[in-house]
Amino acid sequence: MFFRKDEEYVEMDHQEEKKEGKIPIHVEKIKEYADSDRIQKKLRDGSILLIDIKHLRETNINELKRAIDRVRRTCEAMGGEIAGVGEDWIIATPPSAKINRD
């Protein structure tokens, strides 16, 4: 709404963007260190990520440690969380989601 010179007002229709309120969940795989770039981007975009680390764990454990550390630092910087789920999976969340560790 806005005022005109003669102090009358005119109601204007405005359409607000409707947010669905749903957080996207992506299932990803880390096959090499470079995959952490894609994962970081999705995390910064607000997605929850379930990340399969089995392939890299079996082929190059040092590269896996570097990739997970990179994702972990991104989570911490954003206020998100990261946790292991078994030996082959990790979950990473933006600040809008919380991992319940009970």
Q: What is the pLDDT of residue 5?
A: 53
Distance CA 74, CA 43 (A): 8
Q: What is the pLDDT of residue 64?
A: 95
Distance CA 52, CA 89 (A): 5
User: Which residues lie below 8 Å from residue 21, measured CB to CB, with a gap of 6+?
Assistant: none
Q: What is the pLDDT of residue 13?
A: 57
Distance CA 42, CA 93 (A): 10
Domains of the chain (ranges, CATH numbers): 23-93 (3.30.110.150)
Q: What is the pLDDT of residue 19?
A: 53
Q: What is the pLDDT of residue 53?
A: 96
Successive 10-residue mean pLDDT values, the chain, 102 residues? 53 53 89 94 94 95 95 94 94 92 80
